[in-house]
Structure 1
Amino acid sequence: MPPKLSVRNLFKVFGPRPGKAIRLAGSGFDKDAIFRETRSVVAVNDISFDLAPGEIFVVMGLSGSGKSTLVRCLNRLVDPSRGSIRVDGTEIADIGREALRQIRLRKISMVFQHFALFPHKTVLENAEYGLKMQGVSPQERRERALQALDAVGLSGWTEALPEALSGGMRQRVGIARALAVNPEVLLMDEPFGALDPLIRAEMQKELLRLRERYNCAIVFISHDLNEALSLGDRIAIMKDGRFVQVGTAHEIVTEPADDYVAAFTRDVDRSRVLPAAVVTADLEPLIAGHDRVGAARERLEEVPHDSLPVVDGTSRFIGLVDAESLADRPARLDVREAIRKEAAAVQSDAPIVEVFGQCAAGHTVPVVSASGRYKGVIDPLQVFAVLGKDQTNGEAEIDGRADDEADPMADETPPPAIAAAGLPARAHA
């Protein structure tokens, strides 16, 4: 499938000598050295990436890293100094103003951190605005705006003015306005940064739901790593205008490209990021219609688990059997008849935190694919090992501060995720 958005070798330089600044950047000079030589700032430095339909691509970094300049280059609110930006294969980096206006109206929408609503227009009028600029008829734009407002939970607020809304509600109006035009690319510049933590978490869940409904490709700018890890299909860590690393949440946390990225991820609650797949161990299942209760009892005595998974003839998980459910049943009885009724499995992409309670109790946790096919079981010891692993090697520097003041007793303290689960510190040693 071709990318919805394709960016190649994008530069943005602020200052009097952009050409020389780009040449110096290509030769490996850093941002400060380029500024001393040219009095120009390389805000976006040779950025390339592709964005697939329906993908959320999160760009994160510290203040001044260039992330907001980058997202504004993508719809040319800021004109890039050099590079290619293609939407559905159409180059927009150098098109004329009217053609660019049509791209903004029909292909790319943007949601800002501070809402950018018209204070004198109602919620419905704000949501209709992009459609009005497209020349859509009043009846159609009303219908489409109402659909978008309903999607963000504001169908009862159509006649209210923005001043009557909470911050979270105003941001929902901004999102509805962007979605009403059915954009193919949605740009979001720290859209939840002005919201309180509870509303922010709610809006993050809402965004994932809306992505599924509208299937638009999303570039999401954030300075919050936990937000990036929870939302992003892929994440780009940005520093001094460059992408230091691009990868999935799992890759960013477990395989940081350098100490800078490792320092970012060091305090992340890995239990909410890493999927069950990374702590899944092989355990041969019993097969309904083939295996019998007697054989199951013998197998249970041979494995270090309190129960055994049972699958059907197509390898789909159908339940667990344990010593209690197998007891007092005829040895020749089909193992299907001894399945525990309350048994449940976790999908392989579910965060590890969802199985803490079962792991802490020593229970077997089956893992399945999205289609329900059996993949293995959670290994509690592997859970503790993965969550306790230290990814930071040597000194890392963020925002000018070296990470050289580590607690000498740090190795004696369990990681926050393990401590929160009520597990002993020695479990991760």
Structure 2
Amino acid sequence: MTAAPIKLACRNVWKVYGRRPAYYFDSRGYIIEPDALAERLRSEAHLPAVVDATFEVATGEIFVIMGLSGSGKSTLVRCLSRLVEPSAGEILLDGQDLLKATGKELIELRRHAMGMVFQNFGLLPHLTILGNVAFPLKIQGRPEKEREARAREMIALVGLEGREASFPHQLSGGQQQRVGIARSLAVGPELWFLDEPFSALDPLIRRQMQDEFLRLQRMLKKTIVFITHDMAEAFRLADRLAIMRAGKIVQIGRPADIVLNPADDYVAQFTEDMPLLRVIKAGDLATSLNGSAVPEESVAAGASLEELIPRLASGVRAFSVPGEGAGPPALLTAGAVLAVLEREQTRRTRS
């Protein structure tokens, strides 16, 4: 199956705070090896908040950037939208370099191509829910009837139909965040940035909002950059994720890649409490049939290995996993699942 086209490309992006960050960069982006430059910047009273960040996000992908407080993840997402100006690098949206966009072009991109949701809901207290969701459409200059119809559609989409006349203070935290999501979707963005959108919510509400987020993504197929410090949230939501430390991306991969093959001790420690049987999916371990008969038992590619344990205990020895699109099915053997189970038990014994 043909890979999805690249929607967003981030190439060698730096953000440096200090008296003269431009001094350290030339037209090529930087003048010495990145790690050495980062150390030099720190030694000379500069703060490299983002260090040589490079990654791509495919159309329709949920790309999660995670790290502890101070790792640079929120600075990076603000660089992607140019809410913060990068010190060096390239940021390409459908091949257009956003760092070369004029102020007017950038305003239009933010109004039409980008949606943003932040931890602080940012609702306008004097406007109703309908007014809040319709507000970005008003900024675009759309007719009143059109923006009201679109706002009602988005409010229904996030499950708040009937609350259009309410004001933000009359809603719970989870409901307010739903309004923020509806507002960001109202303009029909191609690229959706979410920076710690659920971190201020109680655990139960947070879980419900993650469910809602995944439901919306199944319907809308947005290209998403999602920021979080919560490992469980990152592994639950991500198609791929990037782990940051001290401004630098230390590993990029699918959740299964990260837990099975951590890039260094930091990533290994970061992920050691993630249960492998919940993180790894059937599709992660499936291999080509190579002429073997298609097993009678089938399982979805997105099913966790934990879900398969009862079926293996009943005697099932292999599963067929549907291929992508019109592709052929793949094979998942009981041995592959049991190998992960043994690895999980070894991890628990050592911890």
TM-score under structure 1 normalisation?
A: 0.73
Asked if the contact 2:73–2:227 (Cα under 8 Å) also holds between the matched residues in 1, the reply is: yes
Structure 1, residues 159-195: CA drift from partner, whole Å, max 9, x if none?
1111111111111100000101000111000101111
Matched, 1:6 2:12: no
The correspondence for 1:387, drawn from 335, 341, 345, is 341
Using the alignment, how far apart are the partners of 1:157 and 1:16 within structure 2? 49
For 1:7, the aligned partner's letter is C
Taking structure 1 as reference, are residues 27 and 150 closer, same or farther at Cα in structure 2, changes over 3 Å only? closer
**Partner residue, 1:129:** 135
Larger CA Rg, structure 1 vs 2: 1
Matched, 1:34 2:41: yes
The correspondence for 2:231, drawn from 213, 219, 225, is 225
Q: How does 1:19-168 map to 2 (within 5 A)?
A: 19-21=22-24, 23=30, 26-29=33-36, 31=38, 33-37=40-44, 39-168=45-174
Using the alignment, how far apart are the partners of 2:350 and 2:147 within structure 1? 52
SS in structure 1 opposite 2:6? coil
Q: How many aligned positions are there?
A: 340
Using the alignment, how far apart are the partners of 2:316 and 2:98 within structure 1? 56
Structure 1, residues 103-157: CA drift from partner, whole Å, max 9, x if none?
1101111100121111111111111111111111111111111111111111111
**Identity fraction in percent:** 44
Using the alignment, how far apart are the partners of 1:34 and 1:247 within structure 2? 29
Structure 1, residues 371-392: CA drift from partner, whole Å, max 9, x if none?
796544541x5434313427xx
Matched, 1:15 2:53: no
Using the alignment, how far apart are the partners of 2:229 and 2:256 within structure 1? 18
**Partner residue, 2:305:** 352
Matched, 1:368 2:321: yes
Q: CA deviation at 1:208?
A: 1.8
Using the alignment, how far apart are the partners of 2:312 and 2:24 within structure 1? 55
For 1:351, the aligned partner's letter is S
Using the alignment, how far apart are the partners of 1:226 and 1:21 within structure 2? 38
SS in structure 2 opposite 1:153? coil
SS in structure 2 opposite 1:246? strand
Mean Cα deviation higher: 368-377 or 158-167: 368-377
Using the alignment, how far apart are the partners of 2:222 and 2:348 within structure 1? 43
**Partner residue, 1:197:** 203
Taking structure 1 as reference, are residues 40 and 157 closer, same or farther at Cα in structure 2, changes over 3 Å only? same
SS in structure 1 opposite 2:36? coil
Using the alignment, how far apart are the partners of 2:279 and 2:230 within structure 1? 14
Taking structure 1 as reference, are residues 16 and 25 closer, same or farther at Cα in structure 2, changes over 3 Å only? farther
Taking structure 1 as reference, are residues 378 and 181 closer, same or farther at Cα in structure 2, changes over 3 Å only? same
Asked if the contact 1:24–1:34 (Cα under 8 Å) also holds between the matched residues in 2, the reply is: no
Structure of greater relative contact order (alpha carbons < 8 Å, 6+ residues apart): 2
Q: CA deviation at 1:224?
A: 1.0
Taking structure 1 as reference, are residues 34 and 388 closer, same or farther at Cα in structure 2, changes over 3 Å only? farther
Using the alignment, how far apart are the partners of 2:40 and 2:182 within structure 1? 44
Q: CA deviation at 1:44?
A: 0.9
Q: CA RMSD in A?
A: 2.6
Using the alignment, how far apart are the partners of 2:316 and 2:162 within structure 1? 46
TM-score under structure 2 normalisation?
A: 0.88
Structure 1, residues 247-297: CA drift from partner, whole Å, max 9, x if none?
1111111111111111111110111111124556879548xxxxxxxxxxx
SS in structure 1 opposite 2:165? coil
Runs of at least 5 residues in structure 2 that lack an aligned partner in the other structure: none
